[in-house]
């Protein structure tokens, strides 16, 4: 995207959390900073130093309590605990510093960033909370409570809440919380701070008067991703069976508090409960990073947005005609040549490209950072290498992939790319794919590797003498039969690596592949999905007419976006009900639903936000909320709380 990125890479998962309280003091005219550093990791940390930055820097005589100031230059500080301090898992180091330069007036004038240096020199990022101070007065909610005063998104399965006219300060784990529970709260706090940097964070790990305590319980009978919240006057009880459920519970709490702070009739609950579980196990969103390159920081932020909406599968479209974006060991040309477009570059300029060549690809280190970020957010990344069609970039990077006797322009894809299918009669196709699947299986823990399979041109391979001979040898008739053969061989390669095949619905064309363990993303007519499910394929429904986010919101001339699948207003996206398309007897094959964003026209952050949000929230609610609980009026009122890029 064109805008500058604030975060250069994926935020690191942290297992340390620093809170800071500003306190008035008789000895210090500008008051003191009281710090609490928590070890939210599973291991003790010894012999460390803590570095942090703050605008309100500490001057020469810090009158330090329970800490030594080792260094201070500008806004940078480094402190150490007293000798012999043992920082156990779940433990806290409290210390304070005086001598600060002026009384802070805003919550952003506390700790801006922090890291810890271990005895062996290893550095670790520390999550930081809002600067806290004590307020004598209770916060009162503003505006008359609206008809649906709880800012929850997606809406839960079961909500029985009484609105409060008071707003808690921060949501804080009660004493006795485990390191894992503290870490969960710290992570969701960090997510809110990244998504909504101008809002106060909902969570803190430092309890002050006016805060609401969080207590945690485990109930294995709740099931995956489920949670229960019971609201009392002094505490909320969070019951879950797994880490994803805990994240969803904390997200709901953070949303409730963010809504109540926004006023306008939104409230935090005074009592009652939420009992919630997902409608579908697969709540996906696809992003085409081939047509448009998104820096790692943008993908990381998109993952944050998905986590907020409880979307738990990121379908990462990594290759297409316009570019190959994934580093592959042994085939540097795929990315050096296959990701570069422009005048004189290996690939010609495509939509949005101008006089300057541009490109970009994801290194293995980039992918590892994003996979780690996603897994920390309980999101699975399903990578897609789109084969055998949509392969112009690979063919341009490695010309030996083409049959030299196939005439130029023998066939063209629907997008106008000539001779763009990998050729199954060429040995290099298979040696290259071995390397591709080796890397995919090493980099991505998902049980599924998505291999595309969409839109292979009807005329593909018919003019390649090598492919024609292969078809004759195998007794195959036509492109569909050869594609089926191709995909069966791919399926065997994936199985050898312990992975299952995912593909677009065309993978089921003709003979298809072995349906056992295969998942198909259905983007064409819904009836195709039902037919595939009847043949034993698992399906994820991504109907272009409702869930393709690149399609324009309306047919108005001034609207922007694609039009080949009509127009999709927010209300149309919200109204689509997958249960109407998939008969009850094959529902067990329906794994879930998915939004897709193709990016041919998406050349700015503004355009991205316009297309994706708010409709992604509609897909998210369809994936999470029981059909009977969907409510357009409530949804349209709550959509203002959505995240954006």
Residues designated catalytic: 320, 390, 455
The site for ligand ACM, by CB under 6 A, has a size of: 4
Q: Which residues contact 601 (CB under 8 A, 6 or more apart)?
A: 351, 352, 550, 560, 561, 562, 607
Q: Which is nearer to ligand ACM, 324 or 504 (CB)?
A: 504
* Total length of the chain: 645
What sign results for the dihedral spanned by CA atoms 438, 442, 446, 450? negative
Q: Which is nearer to ligand ACM, 314 or 504 (CB)?
A: 504
* Binding string, residues 600-639; x marks residues near ligand ACM by CB under 6 A: ----------------------------------------
Q: What is the smallest separation between the CB atom of 498 and ligand ACM, expressed in angstroms?
A: 26
- Residues forming beta bridges with residue 189, ordered by sequence position: none
Q: What is the smallest separation between the CB atom of 450 and ligand ACM, expressed in angstroms?
A: 10
Q: Which is nearer to ligand ACM, 146 or 509 (CB)?
A: 509
Q: Is 454 in the site for ligand ACM (CB under 6 A)?
A: yes
Report the interhelical angle of 243-262 vs 179-195 (nearest 10°).
50
Q: How far apart are CA 114 and CA 125, in angstroms?
A: 6
Q: What is the smallest separation between the CB atom of 612 and ligand ACM, expressed in angstroms?
A: 16
Site for ligand ACM in 484-543 (CB under 6 A): 504, 523
Q: What is the smallest separation between the CB atom of 262 and ligand ACM, expressed in angstroms?
A: 37
Q: Is 322 in the site for ligand ACM (CB under 6 A)?
A: no
Q: What is the smallest separation between the CB atom of 390 and ligand ACM, expressed in angstroms?
A: 8
Q: What is the smallest separation between the CB atom of 284 and ligand ACM, expressed in angstroms?
A: 13
Q: How far apart are CA 62 and CA 219, in angstroms?
A: 48
Burial (CB < 10 A; 0-12, 13-18, 19+), residue 365, is exposed
Q: How far apart are CA 456 and CA 220, in angstroms?
A: 46
Question: Is the distance from CB of 184 to CB of 243 less than 8 angstroms?
Answer: yes
Burial (CB < 10 A; 0-12, 13-18, 19+), residue 498, is exposed
Interface residue with ligand ACM among 455, 550, 581, 621 (CB under 6 A) is 455
Other beta carbons within 10 angstroms of residue 120's beta carbon come to 7
Name the residue with the smallest CB distance to ligand ACM.
454
Torsion angle of C-alpha atoms 566, 571, 572, 575, degrees rounded to 10: 180
Q: What is the smallest separation between the CB atom of 454 and ligand ACM, expressed in angstroms?
A: 4
Helix ranges restricted to H, 309-426: 333-336, 364-376, 392-397
Question: Is the distance from CB of 388 to CB of 456 less than 8 angstroms?
Answer: yes
- Residue 555 is given by DSSP the state S
Burial (CB < 10 A; 0-12, 13-18, 19+), residue 458, is exposed
Q: Which is nearer to ligand ACM, 95 or 523 (CB)?
A: 523
SS3 per residue for 577-623? CHHHCCCHHHHHHEEEEEEEECCCCCCCHHHHHHHHCCHHHHHHHHH
Q: Is 321 in the site for ligand ACM (CB under 6 A)?
A: no
**Residues interacting with ligand ACM, by CB under 6 A?**
454-455, 504, 523
């Amino acid at each position: 995207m064109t805008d500058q990125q604030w975060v250069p890479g994926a935020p690191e998962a942290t297992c340390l959390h620093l809170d800071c309280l500003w306190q008035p003091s008789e000895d210090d005219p500008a008051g003191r900073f009281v710090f609490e550093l928590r070890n939210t990791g599973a291991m003790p940390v010894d012999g460390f130093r803590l570095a942090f930055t703050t605008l309100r820097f500490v001057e020469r005589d810090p009158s330090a309590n329970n800490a030594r100031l080792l260094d201070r230059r500008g806004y940078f500080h480094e402190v150490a605990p007293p000798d012999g301090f043992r920082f156990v898992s779940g433990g806290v180091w409290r210390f304070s510093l005086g001598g600060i330069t002026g009384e802070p007036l805003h919550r952003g004038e506390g700790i801006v960033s922090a890291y810890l240096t271990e005895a062996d020199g290893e550095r670790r990022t520390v999550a930081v909370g809002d600067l806290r101070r004590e307020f004598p007065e209770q916060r009162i909610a503003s505006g008359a409570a609206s008809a649906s005063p709880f800012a929850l998104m997606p809406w839960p399965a079961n909500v029985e809440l009484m609105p409060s006219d008071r707003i808690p300060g921060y949501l804080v784990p009660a004493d006795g919380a485990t390191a894992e529970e503290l870490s969960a709260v710290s992570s969701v706090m960090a997510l809110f701070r990244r998504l909504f940097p101008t809002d106060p964070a909902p969570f803190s790990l430092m309890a002050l008067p006016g805060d609401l305590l969080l207590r945690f319980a485990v109930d294995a009978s709740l099931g995956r991703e489920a949670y229960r919240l019971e609201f009392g006057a002094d505490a909320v009880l969070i019951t879950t069976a797994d880490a994803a459920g805990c994240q969803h519970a904390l997200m709901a709490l953070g949303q409730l508090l963010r809504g109540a702070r926004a006023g306008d009739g939104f409230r935090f609950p005074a009592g009652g409960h939420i009992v919630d579980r997902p409608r579908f196990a697969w709540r996906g969103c696809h992003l085409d990073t081939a047509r448009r390159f998104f820096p790692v920081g943008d993908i990381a932020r998109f993952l944050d947005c998905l986590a907020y909406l409880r979307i738990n599968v990121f379908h990462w479209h990594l290759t297409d005609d316009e570019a190959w974006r994934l580093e592959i060991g042994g085939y540097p040309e795929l990315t050096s040549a296959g990701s570069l477009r422009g005048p004189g570059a290996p690939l010609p300029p495509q939509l949005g490209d101008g006089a300057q060549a541009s490109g970009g690809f994801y290194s293995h280190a980039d992918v590892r950072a994003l996979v780690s970020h996603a897994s920390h957010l309980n999101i699975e990344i399903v990578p897609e290498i789109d084969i055998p069609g949509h392969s112009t970039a690979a063919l341009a990077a490695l010309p030996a992939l083409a049959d030299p006797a196939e005439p130029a322009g023998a066939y063209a894809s629907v997008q106008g790319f000539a001779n763009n299918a990998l050729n199954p009669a060429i040995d290099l196709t298979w040696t290259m794919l071995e390397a591709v699947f080796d890397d995919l299986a090493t980099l991505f823990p998902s049980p599924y590797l998505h291999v595309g399979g969409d839109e292979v041109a009807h005329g593909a391979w018919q003019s390649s003498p090598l492919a024609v001979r292969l078809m004759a040898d195998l007794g195959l008739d036509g492109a569909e039969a050869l594609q089926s053969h191709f995909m069966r061989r791919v399926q065997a390669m994936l199985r050898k690596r312990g992975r299952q095949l995912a593909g677009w619905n065309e993978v089921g064309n003709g003979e298809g592949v072995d349906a056992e363990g295969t998942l198909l993303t259905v983007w064409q007519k819904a009836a195709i999905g039902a037919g595939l499910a009847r043949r034993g394929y698992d399906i994820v429904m991504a109907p272009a007419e409702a869930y393709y986010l690149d399609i324009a919101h309306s047919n108005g001339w001034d609207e922007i976006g694609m039009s080949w699948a009509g127009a999709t207003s927010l209300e149309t996206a919200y109204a689509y009900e997958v249960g109407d398309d998939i008969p009850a007897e094959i529902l067990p094959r329906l794994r879930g639903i998915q939004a897709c964003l193709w990016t041919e026209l998406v050349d700015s952050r503004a355009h991205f936000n316009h297309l994706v949000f708010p409709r992604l929230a509609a897909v998210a609610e369809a994936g999470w909320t029981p059909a009977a609980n969907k409510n357009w009026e409530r949804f349209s009122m709550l959509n203002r709380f959505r995240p954006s890029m």
